[in-house]
Chain A
Amino acid sequence: MTHSQTQVFHHGIAAPLLRPNIDTDAIIPSREISRVSKKGLGESMFAGWRYLSTRVSTQGREPDPNFILNREAYQGTSILLAGDNFGCGSSREHAVWALKDFGIRAILAPSFGGIFFNNCALNGILAIELEEAEIQRLADWVQVDPRANLLQIDLAAQQILWREGEKTGFAIEPARRGLLLEGLDSIAATLRQEDAIAAFEKTDRERRPWVYQVPND
């Protein structure tokens, strides 16, 4: 379950998607999840907004030219500037897998849906919480010339570098930062605590025996 670790330093095109409450159904509609797989979901990202029709022809789906990620200037976007509560709703991790497969490496938003926020860290996507006004400033600058006004994100220094050396600091919990930087296999790390888990269960079994007694079907 090791994910590829996050780049310490990332620079790329940032696209503003500033409306609040962009939910995981919007990021990937359930109808797009057609395989028991984490792979190949980039085509499905924002499918409801990205394509003119839900039908797939032999030529693929026709992009909606009005959707920001379909515009020429935003081709190759790897950073999203988002509104409040980004990734709220369904726990489907496919939302994160789709973003990652599309090439999104970082998302900056005033707040995130809780499960989505965890899913990002576990898949090497950098989800950064920033003040709404700061995101708006970044968006205003990026929009002037998206292909030239790239954002640079330095995870080690916890800074976003933009306009002529301007820096925006961001906070990130040490555990999440470590997970992103080192690409830790958290299952292996927890399995190393098996003694503590077994000891807990031994004591807990005396305290709450019914929890551990489940009849077979």
Chain B
Amino acid sequence: MDPAGPEPRSRRLEATDMPATLFEKLWNLHEIADLGDRDCLIHIDRIFLHERTGSIALRSLEQEGRRVRAPHRVFCTMDHIVDTRPGRGDISLAPHGREFIEATRQSARRAGIHLFDIDDPRQGISHVVAAENGIVLPGMSAVCPDSHTCTLGALGALAWGIGSTEAEHALATSCLRASRPRAMRVNFMGETAPGVTAKDMILHLIASFGSRSGRGYAVEFAGPAVSALSMDGRFTLCNMAVEMGAFTGMIAPDERTIAYVQNTALAPRGPLAEQAEFHWRQLRSDTGAEFDLELEIDCARIAPAVTWGTNPEQMANIGGKVPSPDAFEDPQKSLAASHALDYMGLKPGTPLDSIRIDAAFLGSCTNNRISDLRAAANYLRNRKIAPWVQALCVPGSGAVKREAEAEGLHEIFRNAGFEWREAGCSLCFHAGGESFGGKRVISSTNRNFQGRQGPGARTHLASPLTVAASACRGYISAAEAS
């Protein structure tokens, strides 16, 4: 580290006399100027774009006659609209999908940014490829016009989702004006039971405290159950921080994180590797650091979870029943439950494992990394999905797909009755092309909003293991119940 460093400021990372939270360290590392009233000018180390919202940001910037300030630190992928059926090209089933793809390609080339085009081996979902290629590393700040950018907080990065206009700002200036969030820590205490995954942990947290409980906070996930998670599990946990309304989620880098990033293509090499590792090891909340809010979850209480409503907080354990709207004290929650059950076509008191499904979706930036596919495939080996179920497995990136195929997982999925797709966001949302319209879907995604997976589609969020088990039985099921 440079001993002279930047000009001394009380809140800089180097000022070690005051205990600081991981969030404070990350924020202060990137703070260029204090704009007053909690607003700061924050340096952005990495910008990621995709063809859905990145295309419009790039085009708008061009129309304003502005240039991308640091194109070599900007990356773009095709994930939202791109087709995931085998043998795909530029043609997408989404209306005018090709326009998004071509506009993105042309703008990206003109701007001189990195582009992971459809045929590029690095193509995949932005949050997946940013991590697995080492584009985003611990301690970096990263933004993308996509709300699930918080996924990358699992690396110990400061990563958050923004709008297209903010993306233009970041592209043109390498900075953002951002309001400094407050710091929250969620401690996952104890151990999770076998069959309980990171997805169940985050659904449990959101259900416990509500889908706006994180509003205005940067949330650090900590505790023994988080340390025990694989990197893939940690990405799942941080991915859904936005579903509790948080500015972002994050996890302090540990040995597992450092081993993960050092194995990526863009990890620092040579003498820089040592310097980087030294830096990364400081990225943790100091003993005695003060948070604005600390929450605790007793992991013994977490069971395989599934949502019954149209917001991720509307969740229950699979052994339970559909609740009655009368069971909610808060009149707004009661009203929301009533609307949700109406849309979902469910009656209070129905056992969740008696709900018949039409489709199963294994994919999305929440749950389509190699560990997710292994967990599902392990269950599906020598099993078949129920004959009335349509099932899709969509890997998160070309790299995940190749790794899965090298292990023979694609054969397990196919033999069980799953379609095996190319990488992309696919049916996490209905963009006007492929649709789960009118169907009831068990889904490893992050949003069960009305119509998210198609007009009238009824989405039940769950872990990949639960998706696999439910696909086989044809009814919502936890793996051990089958």
Contact = CB atoms under 8 A, between A and B. Distances in A.
Interface string B167-188: 0110011110101000000000
B455 A54 contact: yes
Interface stretch (A138-146, A150-158, A208-216): A208-216
B301 interface: no
A60 B33 CA distance: 51
A57 interface: no
A201 interface: yes
Interface string A168-181: 00000111000000
Residue of A83, A187, A196, A213 with most chain B CB atoms under a 10 A cut-off: A187
Given A20-B333, A175-B179, 18 more contacts: A18-B335, A30-B430, A33-B431, A38-B56, A88-B245, A91-B145, A91-B146, A93-B145, A114-B247, A115-B161, A118-B163, A122-B163, A123-B165, A191-B172, A193-B41, A208-B276, A209-B272, A214-B73
B210 to A, nearest CB: 9
B60 A1 contact: yes
B25 to A, nearest CB: 13
B339 A19 contact: yes
A97 to B, nearest CB: 9
Nearest to B38: A173
B32 A193 contact: yes
A194 B67 CA distance: 14
B238 interface: no
Contacts of A76: none
Given A119-B165, A191-B173, A193-B32, A214 B332 contact: no
A88 B266 CA distance: 34
A128 interface: no
Contact of B451 (A18, A38, A48, A111): A48
B2 A21 contact: no
A33 to B, nearest CB: 7
Contacts of B53: 91-93
Interface of B: 1-2, 5-7, 32-33, 35-39, 41, 43, 45, 52-53, 55-56, 59-60, 64, 66, 72-73, 94-96, 99-100, 103, 114-115, 137, 139-140, 145-147, 161-166, 168-169, 172-175, 177, 179, 211-212, 215-216, 245-247, 266, 268, 272, 275-276, 279, 310-311, 313, 332-333, 335-336, 339, 429-432, 447, 449-452, 455
A36 B55 contact: yes
B163 A31 contact: no
Contacts of B41: 190, 193, 196-197
Nearest to A122: B165
A23 interface: yes
27 contacts: A21-B311, A25-B451, A29-B430, A30-B52, A30-B431, A31-B430, A34-B94, A38-B164, A48-B450, A48-B451, A84-B332, A91-B53, A91-B161, A96-B163, A173-B37, A173-B179, A174-B37, A187-B168, A190-B175, A196-B32, A197-B173, A197-B174, A203-B5, A204-B6, A204-B43, A207-B1, A214-B73
B165 A89 contact: no
B35 A175 contact: yes
Contacts of B73: 212, 214
Contacts of B333: 20
A29 B179 CA distance: 28
A194 B174 CA distance: 10
B43 A30 contact: no
A200 B75 CA distance: 22
A119 B145 CA distance: 11
A75 interface: no
A213 B177 CA distance: 24
Nearest to B59: A36
Contacts of B245: 85, 88, 111, 113-114
A200 to B, nearest CB: 5
Contacts of A31: 94-95, 430-432, 455
A114 B95 CA distance: 29
Contacts of B72: 214, 216
B60 A211 contact: no
What 8 A-B pairs are tightest by C-beta distance, nearest first?
A: A31-B432, A210-B268, A119-B163, A93-B163, A91-B147, A85-B212, A203-B6, A190-B173
A137 to B, nearest CB: 15
A194 B32 CA distance: 11
A207 B38 CA distance: 25
Residue of A29, A191, A206 with most chain B CB atoms under a 10 A cut-off: A29
A2 B431 CA distance: 29
A190 B169 contact: yes
B211 A21 contact: yes
A85 B314 CA distance: 14
A206 to B, nearest CB: 4
B147 to A, nearest CB: 4
Interface in A31-67: 31-38, 48, 54
B332 A132 contact: yes
Nearest to A200: B32
A20 B336 contact: yes
A186 B169 contact: yes
Given A36-B59, A91-B147, A93-B164, A210 B37 contact: no
A20 B169 contact: no
Contact of B449 (A26, A83, A206): A26
A186 B268 CA distance: 34
Nearest to A29: B451
B26 to A, nearest CB: 12
B455 A35 contact: no
Interface in A158-172: none
A4 interface: no
B342 to A, nearest CB: 11
Contacts of A93: 53, 56, 145, 163-165
A20 B449 contact: no
Contact of A23 (B146, B175, B449): B449
B332 A115 contact: no
A20 B432 CA distance: 26
A96 B145 CA distance: 14
Nearest to B104: A36
B166 A23 contact: no
Contacts of A21: 211-212, 310-311, 313, 336
Contacts of B311: 21, 23
